[in-house]
Each structure stands twice: as C-alpha cells, then as structure tokens.
C-alpha cells in the first residue's frame, strides 16, 4: 500500500510566511511559481537569484494515515531524492538526516504515525554554508574549473566537489549556476505486513539466439518465518521454487532457461525485444508479495584487443560489433523535476530518428530518471553511463567514500535490469586533466600542489575510480564493463594511461577544433578508436533566443548574449570560424542562422571522418544533443527541443547506409559507402555534376558491392576532370547510392569553400503534395544552399537545411510534436516559411 505525499508548503527558515510548494521540485521553482523571483532563464536574471543557495529552507507536509495504512506492521517513509543536506522530522521526532542527492532515503515510521494531522518537516541546510568549512579544513582548494563560484558571490571558493550533488548546478561552460535545494523526486509512505520483495534482478549468465541462461536474483524482506513458493513468469512461461524465508532480509537465486529467446537489439540492428518478468511469493495458497521488472535479453561486451595499430575499443552486442553513433546527454533542465516524460521521449525519439544507437549520460549531471532508461530500452538506444563525477578532483575521506559507495550500489541496482546499459564509466575527463604520470600533460592542475598534496589527491582519486566503483560494478553488474575515466587509453600506471588526440587505444575527447581553433579539416586526421567527445557551438534559432532576450539585446557582445554563452571564448570562436568558412551575415538574426550552418558543417565533417575509418574507429559521440536552458552551446537541439541545422546534418551523416565524399586530397574525390547493416549491399553509385542553373555537365554510373558492417572506398574521381572547363565556383557534384528504384543516400560536394561560392538569390517554390500528411515538394530556379523550412507548428521535417539543385526537386514531410500522445505525427506545417543562405548574407 502506497501513499504519495504531495501536499507541501515551504519557506526560508528565517521567514514566517508559508507558501505552497510543488513536490517533486526545488526552492527555485517554488519561488518562481509564487512570484517571488522572476524567471531565472530570462535576460540576466540568473545573477539576481544567487542569494537562494546561501539560505536554509524548510518544507512541511500535513497528511492523514487511514486505518488501512496503520493496520500494516511496517510503514516506511521513502524519499527517492532529497537535494541535498536535509534533516527530517515526523511529528516532531527526528527520523533521518540526508547528505546525498543521488541516494534513496527510507525509514520505518509506523510507531510515529497518528490517524490525523501528521506533520512531516524537512530542513534543507544551505549547501554553500555546509561545505565552506570543509574547504577551510582541507587547507587547499581542489580543482573544479566549471564551478562558477565568482558568479555565486564566493570569489574563488569552489565547494561543489564536497557535495554529492549534481555538479552542473554550480555552473558549467554551457549552463547557469543554480545551486538548488528541495525534494526533487517522489516522496511516499509504503506499508506492508508479511513479506516485501525489495529487489528483483534478472542476471543474464549466457544469452544466444538458441538459449538464454538466467538467474533471478531476488531480495525479500520478511516479517517472520514462512515456507512458501516463489513463482516466476514471463509471457507464457512459468517457473516455481520452494523457499523458506527467515525474519529479515532473504537472498534467493533461481536459475532458469528460455529457449529461442527474442533478443534485444540496438536501433538499426534489429528489434529491441523486451520481456516483463513477474515474481510472486505464495504462502498457503495466498500471494503475499509480488514484483515486476522489464528487461531485454542480450550480451554486451566492451572489446579491447591489441592489434597492429594499438588496441580496439568497441561494443559487441549479441556477438556483433557495433559502431556507436550518438551523442552526449546532459540534464534536460537546470531544474530536473520539470522534465516530463514527453520531453524525455522527444529527445530519445529524436535520437532514434537521427539514426543514433547510443547516448552517453555524462558525469556532471544526474543519474537519470527511470523513464529515460525505459525509453532507451524501447527505442534501442544503448547507454554509456557515467558515475556523477566530472572535470574536478574530489576528496577521499572515509565519510565521503562511504557515501559514494552507497550511492554507486543503489544506482547500479536501480539501473542494471535495463538492457540499454552498455558501460559504467567512473568519471568525465579527470584522468586526462590531472595526468598524474606525465608532468607535461593535463590541464595544469597538479602544478599548483606540492608533492605531498599531489600524492594525496591522486590516492583519493584511485580509491574511488580504481577501487570502489569497479568493485561495486563487479559485485552488482559484472556482465557490463567498467571504464575508469573518459577519455583514457588503459590503466598502465605510466604516461601511456592518459589519452591524447592521437591515441591509438581507448577513447578520445578531441577538442582541437573549437577550443584550439583548429581547422575543420583536422577532423579527418584526428581520428581515434572511439570518439567519445568532440563538438562545435551554435546559437539557437531566433524564436528561441527571443524567449530570453529583447530586440535591444540582439548583438553578439550584449550583456544578455554573454550571460547565455558560458564558454568564455564562445562567441569570439563562432565569429572567427564563420569568417573562415561562411559568407558574412547581413544582421544578427542572420548570424544566428549562419552559426547553425557552421556547426552543422563541423559535425558532418567529424562524423563522416569517423565512420569512414571503420573498423579502426568504432564510435562517434558528439557533444551534445540537448541543453538545460536556452543558450548558445554545443547542443544539436536547443532547450525547447527544436532541431538545429546540425541535427538534420547528423541524421544524414549517421544513416545506417551512408555515402560520404572525402575531398581532403588536392587531386581526387574519394567516395565511400559505409554500412552498419548486417547484410551485403549490392547497388549502383551515380555521380553527376551540375552548373548553378541545374544543367547536367557530366555523369558516371557504377555497380558496387559492399560487405556487411563495413566501410568501403568505392570510387575515386579526379577533381579537375569533373570541373572541366567550368568555373569551379559554378559546379556541384552529387553522389547518389541507389538500390533498385530506391535512393539509399545522396551527398553533394562543392569545389570551393562556401565562403567563396556564388550564392545567387533563389526563387524557391513549395508545392503541397498532401496537406494532411504534411508532404511538400520544393524546387528552385538556381542553386540554393542551406534551404531552411520553418513553421509555427512545433515539430520537425524529414530533411531541412539542404541544398537544392535546379530541376532536382526535394520532397519532405513535416511531423508535429506531441500530438495524440506520440512524440511525432504527420501534420500540416502552419505558416510555412522557406529561405536559403542567400537570404541571410550581405
């Protein structure tokens, strides 16, 4: 029996007036809902709410406990999430004290309950006031460069590393500083008397298409001794086991088999089949307890084998090597409780539509809500799961380690039934940032400490990431790999441990393009075994920018634009790269559009370079798919879920069967076909060149064969021959891969940089083919670059920001967002607007 507690009030501890509160939620959202603060996302309002984290806050709930609840032997008070330092009383009696946002807190409160007017009271201590003494006691600061302490009025006192709390709350180079407090997940009373099944894990010992050998790992809490029957069932199958329960916690393992199982596959390789398993405990013919879990049957391995070039790094699913295509995921909101299932599904469905098969849950956010992983299971999206540590060094005292151990074990147990979980990773960028074994590598952190401090900091690091976390994964989820830090080459305990841009083993975060202002073309050269981070920024579209800015703010260096750009060099770098690659935009609105084209071209270059190098490279996870607030950032979808140009380019560059044109050679164009499917491909490659008016200049057809799950150079052509006597600014080459009457993919190549290309103003006609189905056909009178379709209706097009060759119409379909309970469904596009790059340049 459950009673969810949702009738709450709150106030600052030094105030007298109680205000209504929403749970789950936090102080910031409750203050906003009560009109105490202005929207912190608007303008520079973030700066006006930094007082909130310096105060203590209290929440109170009044509730009745009816007779049915009180008649149970046990009534547990369960908090799924308390953020972060919290003291809880029930009817004036202290029941628990919490100090970790990522843990579940529970206590039996049966003896404290009254039938009427129970009062549950929580005091949230300021995380700043709580942790400043820890910094003083340590005697030196630990590295935490993304902690925006200055913006929080703390000067250089960075305390984020002491709290087991979402690191991004303290700011990041894409996010604001909102150090929250509150009840951020469900709070409930849970009553039981005889038996309670507290955990059910379907451990997969061996899974093949012929046979799945499983163990049901069952944890049962019993109030007394019972003899009875465990019944386990799924679909039309059932197994039974006689058991004797003793008072307290019982651990039961039941081995069983399923013949010819339906396997769980990631998107693109097969169906993500799921099984629902139900376990019951029966005593004397009565069912005393039951529990249900859902999982998929599969094997997932991280393959790291030495080869002639270094060591492999790839995931093998059901024996099949998988090229991981996807992105890094951050929390969808600065206030995590605001993220609805619809917002989660919009992101996961967008990833699947964009031909992805993996998302990395990055270590500076949160262990995501259950619905996130459930959707990944359903859509066939693998999850690289970080533990919540990022870009900092952390303390290693006994209390901190104990807290982290419980946090890790709870979250592993919570998530381990999800077939989407492919990897547990200790942290983000900490090994390479500290670079303990190479004095000349890293981010310059260790040089700020004496030898004794260095050794202590590294010893604390190893205690967490080389001992505690791998032991927890090995004990509770041993059939999924643990990776200590991303990026990393291998645990060698010498300088070869730390990753760099040319590593031939492990995973790589390549940021030469962007942070070091290297050319896009370097993406072709800096290719590792698994590219787990790389990225390029852009602004959101104008509609999104106007949610936080006024017309007077629409300039690159305005206070609002700088507030909503958290990378110190971000706006300068966007402009610097735009001056290198694109024509000059005519105004700031055009600059927003051009920034998206710029980002899209960068991501296309990187992703296709990675995929062309398959199987040497077997993963491409760009930074990042989403935003936590409206901002200029590396996201391919903005805070509102609107697809940027990059998302459309990424969708095309991650096709399961892709054509890619590599023009990095001075003389030749190399045309590759990359296939992620498991069957051979026999098709036809058609190469054509056109002038700006659409006249066909040259054509070539060639039958090709491509092996399953491979990358193949299928044709090289001489650039000069295809330009011929024409001006190279007036020629476009198109490569099309056909199979029968189906076009599998199509890519274009321009012989001059976009900045130098001729961009005549295009007259684009848009004909409605089927209004109800949202199908439109577009044609242009001249070559039109970057054709952007926009509409007042929220949703997405099957393609967008594409190039139009005269006489070569393109048909697209629009799908509205969130209609009829679906993430996307065909719909008419209201007030459809069509523009191309020529409309945005001087």
Whether the model pTM is above 0.95: yes
Give the pLDDT mean for 576-583: 97
Q: Is the peptide bond before 487 cis (omega within 30 degrees of 0)?
A: yes
623 membership: H or E segment, kind and range: none
Torsion of CA 171, 176, 180, 186, to 10 degrees: -110
CA–CA separation, 604 and 663 (whole Å): 13
Active-site choice (429, 533, 541, 608): 429
452 membership: H or E segment, kind and range: helix 451-462
Q: What is the pLDDT of residue 758?
A: 87
Pairing of the two strands 802-804 and 784-790: antiparallel
Residue 670 DSSP one-character state:
E
Report the share of the chain in percent with pLDDT over 90: 99
Q: Does 271 participate in catalysis according to the annotation?
A: no
Three-state DSSP at 126 gives: coil
CA distances from 32 to 39, 40, 53, 618 (A): 6, 8, 15, 45
Q: What is the mean pLDDT of the chain?
A: 97
Given a cut of 90, is residue 623 above it in pLDDT? yes
Give the pLDDT mean for 712-741: 95
CA angle, corner 592, sides to 586 and 597, nearest 5?
95
Give the pLDDT mean for 781-791: 97
Give the pLDDT mean for 671-675: 98
Whether the Cβ atoms of residue 823 and residue 791 lie closer than 8 Å to each other: no
Given a cut of 90, is residue 706 above it in pLDDT? yes
Torsion of CA 184, 189, 191, 195, to 10 degrees: 20
Quickly count: other Cβ atoms within 10 Å of residue 544's Cβ: 20
Look at residues 154, 180, 185 and name the one whose alpha carbon lies nearest to residue 166: 180
Q: What are 342's two structure tokens?
A: 């619809």
678 membership: H or E segment, kind and range: none
Residue 704 main-chain phi, psi, to 5 deg? -130, 155
Given a cut of 90, is residue 606 above it in pLDDT? yes
Place of tokens 């070039």: 309
Q: What is the pLDDT of residue 426?
A: 98
Does 757 or 792 have the greater pLDDT score?
792
pLDDT-derived band at 522, boundaries 50, 70, 90: very high
Sketch out the chain's domains with CATH numbers. Answer: 2-189 (2.60.120.260), 194-295 (2.60.40.10), 303-637 (3.20.20.80), 655-758 (2.60.40.10), 759-842 (2.60.40.10)
Quickly count: other Cβ atoms within 10 Å of residue 657's Cβ: 18
Whether the Cβ atoms of residue 771 and residue 813 lie closer than 8 Å to each other: no
- CB under 8 Å to 178, separation ≥6 — which residues? 28, 40, 46, 49, 52, 169, 334, 335
CA–CA separation, 23 and 80 (whole Å): 11
Give the pLDDT mean for 169-182: 98
Given a cut of 90, is residue 821 above it in pLDDT? no
Q: What is the pLDDT of residue 491?
A: 97
Q: What is the pLDDT of residue 174?
A: 98
Q: What are 252's two structure tokens?
A: 């039961």
Place of tokens 């081995």: 255
Given a cut of 90, is residue 479 above it in pLDDT? yes
CA–CA separation, 163 and 160 (whole Å): 6
Q: What is the pLDDT of residue 757?
A: 87
Give the pLDDT mean for 567-576: 96
- CB under 8 Å to 267, separation ≥6 — which residues? 352, 355, 356, 357, 379, 380, 381
What number of helices (H) and strands (E) belong to the chain?
16, 47
* Helix (H), strand (E), coil (C) string for 49-65: HCCHHHCCEEEEEEECC
* Helix (H), strand (E), coil (C) string for 127-177: HHHHHHHHHHHHCCCCCCCCCCCCCCCCCCCCCHHHCECCHHHECCCCCCE
**Alpha helices for 704-815 (secondary structure H):** 719-723
The region, left, alpha or beta by phi > 0 then psi within -120 to 50, assigned to residue 786 is left
Q: What are 53's two structure tokens?
A: 């984290």
Given a cut of 90, is residue 695 above it in pLDDT? yes
Per-residue pLDDT tens digits for 54-87:
999 999 999 999 999 999 999 999 999 999 999 9
CA–CA separation, 172 and 364 (whole Å): 9
CA–CA separation, 516 and 514 (whole Å): 6
CA–CA separation, 646 and 358 (whole Å): 17
CA–CA separation, 40 and 22 (whole Å): 18
Q: What is the pLDDT of residue 560?
A: 98
């Amino acid at each position: 029996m459950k009673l969810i507690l949702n009738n709450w009030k709150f106030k600052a501890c030094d105030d007298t007036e109680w205000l209504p509160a929403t749970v789950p939620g936090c102080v910031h959202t409750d203050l906003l809902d009560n009109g105490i603060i202005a929207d912190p996302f608007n303008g520079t309002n973030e700066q006006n709410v930094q007082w909130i984290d310096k105060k203590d806050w209290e929440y109170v709930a009044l509730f009745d406990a009816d007779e049915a609840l009180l008649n149970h032997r046990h009534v547990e008070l369960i908090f799924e999430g308390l953020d972060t330092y919290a003291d809880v009383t029930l009817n004036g009696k202290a029941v628990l004290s919490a100090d970790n946002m990522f843990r579940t807190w529970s206590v039996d409160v049966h003896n404290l309950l009254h039938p009427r007017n129970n009062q549950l009271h929580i005091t949230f201590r300021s995380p700043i006031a709580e942790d400043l003494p820890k910094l003083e006691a340590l005697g030196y600061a630990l590295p935490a460069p993304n902690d925006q302490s200055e913006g929080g009025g703390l000067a250089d006192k960075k305390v984020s590393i002491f709290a087991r709390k979402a690191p991004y709350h303290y700011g990041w180079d894409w996010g604001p500083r909102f150090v929250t407090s509150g009840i951020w997940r469900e709070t409930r009373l849970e009553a039981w008397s005889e038996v309670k099944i507290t955990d059910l894990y379907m451990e997969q010992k061996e899974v093949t298409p012929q046979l799945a050998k499983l163990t049901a790992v069952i944890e049962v809490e019993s109030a007394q001794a019972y003899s009875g029957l465990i019944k386990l069932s799924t679909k039309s199958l059932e197994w039974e086991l006689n058991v004797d329960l003793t008072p307290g916690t019982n651990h039961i393992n039941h081995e069983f088999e399923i013949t010819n199982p339906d396997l769980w596959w990631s998107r693109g390789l097969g169906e993500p089949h799921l099984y629902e398993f139900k376990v019951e405990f029966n005593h004397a013919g009565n069912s005393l307890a039951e529990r249900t879990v859902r999982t998929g049957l599969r094997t997932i391995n991280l393959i790291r084998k030495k080869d002639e070039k270094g060591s492999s790094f790839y995931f093998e699913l059901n024996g099949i090597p998988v090229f991981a295509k996807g992105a890094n995921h951050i929390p969808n909101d600065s206030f995590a409780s605001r993220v609805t299932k619809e917002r989660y599904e919009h992101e996961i469905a967008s990833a699947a539509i964009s031909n992805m098969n993996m998302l990395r849950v990055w270590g500076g956010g949160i262990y995501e809500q259950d619905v996130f992983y459930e959707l990944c299971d359903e859509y066939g999206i693998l999850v690289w799961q970080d533990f919540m540590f990022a870009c900092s060094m952390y303390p290693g005292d006994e209390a901190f380690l104990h807290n982290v151990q419980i946090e890790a074990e709870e979250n592993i147990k919570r998530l381990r039934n999800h077939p989407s979980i492919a990897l547990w990773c200790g942290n983000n960028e900490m090994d390479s940032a500290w670079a303990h074994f190479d004095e000349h590598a890293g981010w310059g952190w260790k040089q700020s400490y004496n030898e004794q401090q260095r050794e202590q900091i590294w010893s604390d690091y190893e205690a967490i990431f080389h001992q505690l976390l791998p032991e927890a994964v090995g004990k509770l989820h041993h059939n999924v790999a643990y990776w200590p830090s991303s990026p990393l080459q291998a645990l060698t305990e010498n300088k070869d441990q730390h990753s760099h841009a040319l590593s031939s083993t492990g995973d790589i975060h390549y940021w030469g393009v962007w942070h070091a202002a290297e050319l896009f073309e370097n993406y072709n050269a800096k290719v590792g075994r698994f590219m787990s981070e790389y990225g390029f920024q852009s602004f959101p579209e104008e509609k999104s920018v106007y949610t936080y800015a006024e017309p007077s703010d629409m300039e690159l260096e305005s206070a609002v634009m700088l507030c909503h750009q958290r990378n110190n060099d971000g706006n300068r770098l966007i402009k610097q790269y735009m001056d290198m690659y694109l024509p000059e935009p005519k105004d700031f609105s055009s600059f927003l559009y051009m920034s998206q084209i710029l980002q899209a071209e960068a991501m296309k270059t990187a992703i296709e370079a990675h995929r062309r190098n398959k199987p040497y490279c077997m993963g491409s996870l760009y930074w990042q798919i989403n935003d936590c607030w409206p901002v200029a950032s590396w996201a391919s979808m903005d805070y509102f879920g609107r697809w940027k140009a990059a998302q459309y380019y990424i969708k095309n560059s991650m096709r399961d069967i892709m054509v890619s044109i590599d023009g990095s050679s001075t003389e030749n164009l190399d045309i590759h076909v990359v296939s992620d499917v498991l069957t051979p491909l026999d098709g036809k490659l058609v190469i054509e060149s056109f002038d700006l008016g659409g006249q066909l200049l040259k054509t070539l057809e060639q039958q090709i064969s491509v092996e399953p799950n491979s990358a193949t150079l299928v044709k090289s052509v001489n650039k000069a021959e295809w330009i011929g006597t024409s001006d190279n600014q007036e020629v476009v080459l198109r490569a099309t891969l056909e199979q029968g009457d189906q076009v599998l993919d199509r890519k274009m190549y321009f012989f001059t940089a976009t900045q130098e290309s001729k961009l005549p103003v295009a007259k684009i006609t848009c004909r409605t083919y089927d209004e109800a189905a949202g199908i439109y056909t577009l044609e242009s009178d001249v070559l039109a670059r970057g054709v952007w379709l926009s509409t007042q209706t929220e949703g997405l097009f099957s393609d967008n920001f594409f190039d139009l060759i005269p006489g070569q119409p393109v048909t697209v379909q629009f799908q509205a967002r969130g209609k009829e309970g679906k993430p996307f469904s065909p719909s008419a596009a209201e007030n459809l607007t069509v523009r191309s790059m020529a409309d945005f340049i001087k």
